[in-house]
Amino acid sequence: MPAQNAQVLFPVHVDTPFDYEVPFDMVVKPGDFVFAPIGQHYKLGVVWNVGAAETDRELKPIAEKKPTQALPKAVLNFVSWTAKYNCASLGMALRMVLSARKALDPSPIVTHYSPISPINVKMTPARSRVIEFGGPFPERASVIAERAGVSTGVVRGFADAGGLIAQGLPVDQPYGEPDPNIAGLELSPGQLDAAASLIKSVQTGDFSVSLLDGVTGSGKTEVYFEAAAEALRQGGQVLILVPEIALTQAGMKRFKARFGAAPAPWHSALGEAERRRTWREVINGRAKLVVGARSALYLPFPNLRLIVVDEEHDTSYKQEEGVIYNARDMSVVRAKLSRASVVLASATPSLESLVNARTGRYAHVVLPERPGSVTLPEIDLIDLKDDPPERGDFISAPLIEATKNVLSRGEQAMLYLNRRGYAPLIICRACGEKLKSPDTDSWLVEHRETGRAVCHHTGFSMRMPKECPSCHAEGALTSVGPGVERVAEEASRHFPEARIEILSSDTSGGAEKIRERMQRMEQGEIDILVGTQMVVKGHNFPGLTFVGVVDGDLSLVGGDPRAGERTYQTLVQVAGRAGRADKPGSALIQTHQPDHEALQALAAGDRERFVSAELAMRDMLGLPPYGRLAGVIVSGPELGQVEALGRKFVGLAPRAKGVEILGPSEPPIGRLRGRFRRRILVQAETSIDLSAYMRSWRSKMKLPSKYKLHIDIDPQSFM
């Protein structure tokens, strides 16, 4: 028998796997985890291919094979696809799958306890609590103690006395089995139709994509639960992607209520033990229902039947660092490789998905109304030219009036402004100096709650200075423009009696405090909630009947071609928070551009009007979905060199009809963390394989060390 060789891919910045010899006493197949020598070290890698040794070169042998299940074939293909499509290195794409290395080792064995019945030892109140609240058993002493509100000593003592039996079990226990047959809410006729169509797609057992397009509060979650239940009945695994921000305890509770067991979670803040547990349970196929943020797409599912992308338009699905990818688009690829179904759900679908639905590439499943008698909020515009706020203020008279009415009815209001902190700009009245971030082209934002000046791009912060750092004039620094803290301050002047709270990612006390505030809002303990983007996603506030948008104007910074679309989406979602229970809601939007197409369509409650105007514009300009875009960022420590490299790269562009190259030019943030940046934008006709074009272009360019070139296929950020 000839010696075998294997190609092993390492999760590092490499584009190809390396050749190794397979020792005679080892059998490997693609997907197996192995240790192999590279340079002076042994490194963990994944077998990519196996074949007879064809090279005369002396190959080093693979050192060890891990006893874990191999990565499924579809996952290997997905890694290749991800790298190719996004112009990333193959090794770095693999790295996204190896997100819990500890899961490759067998789970440590620890002592678990369960009650012995009948119990014939002396009972105490604490021991009774162990029995009553400590389960489900078997469980570790620390967990039982926490659930029962007793010390671990009580649990151990109870065991020593013979009331509990101890056994060694793996520390990573399986997640509870979700039960697809628990009845959900009684669905409305429209919801039933939508659910039936999704269920049918799952039943075909083939690849399909459905766009679940339903107004805010129409019950999309209830509907896709039915598709998930069907996939579970078939014994498949289900992945539900949600924006990171929606992964709250409250959000997870809904899944538990519907399926009787908490789903396996996955997000960036997950602790090491939970990561290990979820990863292991996914690859062994026992975790049937996973709810996670975008990176959950790179978990090693062997038996994936359904992927739901909730709020599919959400920008947080785009990963902007490392391997740059869009989880919404990649979920379609992932499903195709496993012949699974995808449900993209949104009240404001991305224009890309909408066009795919209209041209028949995706099934279009529409939920036109809210269940029962709940109606959509009435939206009106306030023209700030006609109704300017008082000097130095940001809330206009009509907005104050409307809020007053809501409060007098004992209902809740929300003021929305997507700007953290107190003021977005700090300027010296004496010399005109603006406070800048030290190593980044951005202004420092005043945060009064913490008394600091903060850079929102890098996180740099300093104590708010007493004097101007330039001319040293004292007391001359002035805050310019509104942030949520300032709007809350103004609101408490207008409504001194009201209970006013701020909700933003700065809310001190972290996720716990944010959750608590949301809960108090839900229970009606807050009258006016002043919030950023944080408040937009996935929360139901039943007593909220009015939303006031402090600044509805388009943020056209950086020439983002999706600025209009984003504004429309955000405002529909924000306004959609109002009037979700039995009382109708309304929204008022302050604007300087009341004639803008997006705002006009909002006020008219006519999405089609916005969509057709926006699509016509995109078509004319050859922008997505009628054209393709790629962004390139060249960055490095010296400006002259960055500019020269940018020009050199443009000079190397392969000639192709239907491709247009713009730049290099200075982006809105020309320097970030001390590195200068220049941007190139590539616009191509849809018939062009832009990923292949960019890969071939990139391969012609050599960069000096410390200089980087990032390719971003279908960029969402133009900073």
Is the Cβ–Cβ distance between 29 and 62 less than 8 Å? Answer: no
Please report how close the Cβ of residue 347 comes to ligand ADP at its closest, in angstroms.
6
The closest alpha carbon to 328, from 308, 348, 347, belongs to 308
Question: What φ, ψ does residue 676 adopt, rounded to 5°?
Answer: -75, 150
Is the Cβ–Cβ distance between 613 and 606 less than 8 Å? Answer: no
> Quick one: 170 exposed, middle or buried, by C-beta within 10 A (0-12, 13-18, 19+)?
middle
Is the Cβ–Cβ distance between 395 and 491 less than 8 Å? Answer: yes
Closer of 221 and 691 to ligand ADP (Cβ): 221
Applying CB under 6 A, the span of 168-176, 218-226, 430-438, 660-668 interacting with ligand ADP comes to: 218-226
Judged by CB under 6 A, does residue 72 bind ligand ADP? no
Judged by CB under 6 A, does residue 216 bind ligand ADP? yes
> Quick one: 25 exposed, middle or buried, by C-beta within 10 A (0-12, 13-18, 19+)?
exposed
Please report how close the Cβ of residue 224 comes to ligand ADP at its closest, in angstroms.
8
Closer of 187 and 484 to ligand ADP (Cβ): 187
Please report how close the Cβ of residue 292 comes to ligand ADP at its closest, in angstroms.
18
Applying CB under 6 A, the span of 114-122, 211-219, 529-537, 546-554 interacting with ligand ADP comes to: 211-219
Please report how close the Cβ of residue 166 comes to ligand ADP at its closest, in angstroms.
43
By CB under 6 A, name the one of 219, 251, 531, 543 that touches ligand ADP.
219
Give me the residue whose beta carbon is nearest to ligand ADP.
219
By CB under 6 A, name the one of 220, 566, 671, 677 that touches ligand ADP.
220
DSSP E strand boundaries for 417-542? 425-428, 445-447, 452-454, 461-463, 477-480, 500-503, 528-531
Closer of 25 and 186 to ligand ADP (Cβ): 186
Please report how close the Cβ of residue 541 comes to ligand ADP at its closest, in angstroms.
10
By CB under 6 A, name the one of 31, 72, 91, 217 that touches ligand ADP.
217
C-alpha dihedral over 10, 12, 18, 24, to 10 degrees? -20
The residues near 352 (Cβ < 8 Å, ≥ 6 apart) are 624, 625
Please report how close the Cβ of residue 217 comes to ligand ADP at its closest, in angstroms.
4
Closer of 219 and 482 to ligand ADP (Cβ): 219
d(CA 237, CA 296): 13
Judged by CB under 6 A, does residue 214 bind ligand ADP? yes
Judged by CB under 6 A, does residue 612 bind ligand ADP? no
d(CA 432, CA 430): 6
Closer of 312 and 352 to ligand ADP (Cβ): 312
By CB under 6 A, name the one of 82, 188, 319, 338 that touches ligand ADP.
188
By CB under 6 A, name the one of 187, 290, 526, 659 that touches ligand ADP.
187
User: In what helix (H) or strand (E) does residue 594 lie, and over which residues does it extend?
Assistant: none
Please report how close the Cβ of residue 545 comes to ligand ADP at its closest, in angstroms.
15
Closer of 185 and 662 to ligand ADP (Cβ): 185
Closer of 221 and 237 to ligand ADP (Cβ): 221
The interface mask with ligand ADP, positions 222-241, x = CB under 6 A, is: x-------------------
Question: Token pair for residue 426?
Answer: 């700090």
Please report how close the Cβ of residue 522 comes to ligand ADP at its closest, in angstroms.
11
d(CA 103, CA 274): 10
Please report how close the Cβ of residue 186 comes to ligand ADP at its closest, in angstroms.
6
CA atoms within 13 A on the CB side of 694: 27
268-296: b (≥16 Cβ within 10 Å) or e: eebeeebbbbbbbbbbebebbbbbbbbbb
Distances (CA, A) of 126 to 114, 154, 157, 165, 687: 15, 7, 11, 17, 71
Is the Cβ–Cβ distance between 220 and 366 less than 8 Å? Answer: no
Applying CB under 6 A, the span of 51-59, 79-87, 143-151, 209-217 interacting with ligand ADP comes to: 209-217
Closer of 230 and 281 to ligand ADP (Cβ): 230
Question: Token pair for residue 524?
Answer: 């009606």
User: In what helix (H) or strand (E) does residue 107 lie, and over which residues does it extend?
Assistant: none
Please report how close the Cβ of residue 357 comes to ligand ADP at its closest, in angstroms.
17
By CB under 6 A, name the one of 68, 86, 114, 218 that touches ligand ADP.
218
The closest alpha carbon to 659, from 696, 622, 685, belongs to 685
Please report how close the Cβ of residue 552 comes to ligand ADP at its closest, in angstroms.
21
Please report how close the Cβ of residue 350 comes to ligand ADP at its closest, in angstroms.
16
By CB under 6 A, name the one of 523, 540, 696, 699 that touches ligand ADP.
540
Judged by CB under 6 A, does residue 185 bind ligand ADP? yes
The closest alpha carbon to 374, from 243, 237, 545, belongs to 545
Judged by CB under 6 A, does residue 579 bind ligand ADP? no
Please report how close the Cβ of residue 60 comes to ligand ADP at its closest, in angstroms.
54
Please report how close the Cβ of residue 219 comes to ligand ADP at its closest, in angstroms.
3
The residues near 464 (Cβ < 8 Å, ≥ 6 apart) are 426, 446, 448, 451, 452, 453, 477
How many C-beta atoms lie closer than 10 Å to residue 434's C-beta? Answer: 13
d(CA 94, CA 456): 31
Please report how close the Cβ of residue 221 comes to ligand ADP at its closest, in angstroms.
3
Distances (CA, A) of 366 to 109, 213, 297, 348, 356: 50, 5, 25, 12, 14
Closer of 138 and 371 to ligand ADP (Cβ): 371
Q: How many residues bind ligand ADP (CB under 6 A)?
A: 15
Q: How many whole angstroms from its chain centre is CA 524?
A: 28
Please report how close the Cβ of residue 191 comes to ligand ADP at its closest, in angstroms.
6
Judged by CB under 6 A, does residue 115 bind ligand ADP? no
Closer of 192 and 701 to ligand ADP (Cβ): 192
By CB under 6 A, name the one of 201, 221, 356, 691 that touches ligand ADP.
221
For helices 220-233 and 189-203, what crossing angle results, to 10°? Answer: 30
Please report how close the Cβ of residue 701 comes to ligand ADP at its closest, in angstroms.
45
By CB under 6 A, name the one of 82, 191, 237, 590 that touches ligand ADP.
191
Radius of gyration (Cα) for the chain, nearest Å?
Answer: 28
d(CA 345, CA 212): 5
Closer of 577 and 596 to ligand ADP (Cβ): 577
Closer of 46 and 187 to ligand ADP (Cβ): 187
Closer of 218 and 442 to ligand ADP (Cβ): 218
Closer of 222 and 329 to ligand ADP (Cβ): 222
Applying CB under 6 A, the span of 33-41, 186-194, 317-325, 559-567 interacting with ligand ADP comes to: 186-194
d(CA 437, CA 444): 6
Q: Interaction with ligand ADP in 361-380: which residues (CB under 6 A)? A: 371
DSSP E strand boundaries for 98-144? 109-115
d(CA 393, CA 486): 9
**At CA 330, angle to CA 328 and CA 334, rounded to 5?**
120
Please report how close the Cβ of residue 220 comes to ligand ADP at its closest, in angstroms.
3
**Residues binding ligand ADP (CB under 6 A):** 185-188, 191, 214, 216-222, 371, 540
